[in-house]
Structure 1
């Protein structure tokens, strides 16, 4: 009797181990799916903005830009001041002119939105020059002071040919309650979301490698967002 009871224990232990492994894998898959949803949402924001000539970010401005960050559904916790937080994606211009893979980035605080009391806003940041991009890469920083955010132009013919936007650190846009336009978001802080980056790429990875490694494997949804961005800067984007 004692011998039989001893042979049962190892079998039970094996069953516990083998049934727990699929649960861990399923958790990782769900985390990646949640990260991909943010990319889908960012793509939807960009597509909706570009589909209307009155609200689209000028294509020649995007063509000259060195980086872009898209934050879908930034939540406002307070009614008038602060309390805002959202996660979006940032992509940088490569040396060959193409767009990099996206890195997840958080935006917190600040005052933005086109309508007082709006519960959420979609935020788009366009980086016209490499210097500001390098500041984002080096550390978390606040928009305002030495790194200012300027309300960006909208519309298919909105760019003033005499205006040198390359000297603007960040061009800022917001959409809330169906309205879209350039706004000031000084006081907002940006910082990379390392957890979401790990969820999407399946490994601990730095934003610098995400932006610079052309061989980094990424989900198909990344290619879809990149295509929309490339079409937007050439003026060939069509949602239908």
Structure 2
């Protein structure tokens, strides 16, 4: 009996490697990390301001406010006259009195400063009434003209009991070169940053949903910022 010889034919396994998904995932993680860094920086600005009674935004104002926007490290270019741009976070008061998740918002406009030559400033905007908040939500918002920013009172006991701050559209604060105080920032424009909102929440999402939907998931760093804000309006915040 004759046997046919068997020849082993090697099977070549072809491994197709695609770097598309891992690269996208890595990029998404980096973008989210950068968005979280802005939140952390905003929290740090608020903590530093509230830690000193001489620079503290009065707790009575925060308790009565309908919204707050914090812009860490707004870059200013030019001497006396120039331009500025920064990205920060905005949070709104909910119907139950708690604070919403943050939405990212940009500030752009002409120059300002507490001290000539300052390269960057931290800016805090306090919104005492809901009507101004609704205007910010409805469109790209200009500070100036009929809706101007007013320099807010500074200090733990700076609130004037005879003044109705709820009639002020926006109370403005800025810190640069170690100085802090209320300033006028008319000529600035506010507009929500859709890209940063998408980076943080992992999907395209509107500011209205961020503010109003309690089921929107957010990173843990958001809870930390919210806690600082809640403690500050109660006058119980302590950094140490």
TM over 0.5, shorter chain: yes
Q: Is the 8 A contact 1:57 1:155 kept in 2?
A: yes
RMSD: 4.5
Any unmatched runs of 5+ in structure 2?
A: none
> Would you say how many aligned residue pairs link Structure 1 and Structure 2?
240
| Alignment TM-score, normalising by the size of structure 1 | 0.93
Any unmatched runs of 5+ in structure 1?
A: none
Residue deviations 1:109-151 (CA, integer Å, cap 9, x gap): 1332210110000000000000000000000121000111000
Give the SS at the match of 1:113. coil
Q: How many Å separate the matches in 1 of 2:54 and 2:179?
A: 11
Q: How many Å separate the matches in 1 of 2:67 and 2:12?
A: 55
Give the SS at the match of 1:75. strand
C-alpha distance 11-41 of structure 1, shift in aligned 2 (>3 A) = farther
Residue deviations 1:206-228 (CA, integer Å, cap 9, x gap): 00000000010000000000000
The offset of 1:15, in angstroms, is 4.5
Q: Is the 8 A contact 1:151 1:173 kept in 2?
A: yes
The offset of 1:30, in angstroms, is 0.2
Q: Is the 8 A contact 1:121 1:176 kept in 2?
A: yes
Give the SS at the match of 1:158. coil
Residue deviations 1:36-90 (CA, integer Å, cap 9, x gap): 0000000000000000000000001000000000000000122222310000000
The offset of 1:24, in angstroms, is 1.1
Q: How many Å separate the matches in 2 of 1:11 and 1:172?
A: 72
| Alignment TM-score, normalising by the size of structure 2 | 0.93
Q: How many Å separate the matches in 2 of 1:200 and 1:39?
A: 10
C-alpha distance 63-3 of structure 1, shift in aligned 2 (>3 A) = farther
C-alpha distance 145-216 of structure 1, shift in aligned 2 (>3 A) = same
Q: How many Å separate the matches in 1 of 2:112 and 2:3?
A: 72
Q: Is the 8 A contact 1:110 1:189 kept in 2?
A: no
Q: Is the 8 A contact 1:112 1:174 kept in 2?
A: no
C-alpha distance 20-179 of structure 1, shift in aligned 2 (>3 A) = same
Q: How many Å separate the matches in 2 of 1:24 and 1:5?
A: 51
Structure with the higher helix share, 1 or 2: 1
Residue deviations 1:154-189 (CA, integer Å, cap 9, x gap): 101000000000000000000000100000000000
C-alpha distance 229-75 of structure 1, shift in aligned 2 (>3 A) = same
Q: 196-205 vs 76-85, which deviates more?
A: 76-85
Q: How many Å separate the matches in 1 of 2:88 and 2:218?
A: 16
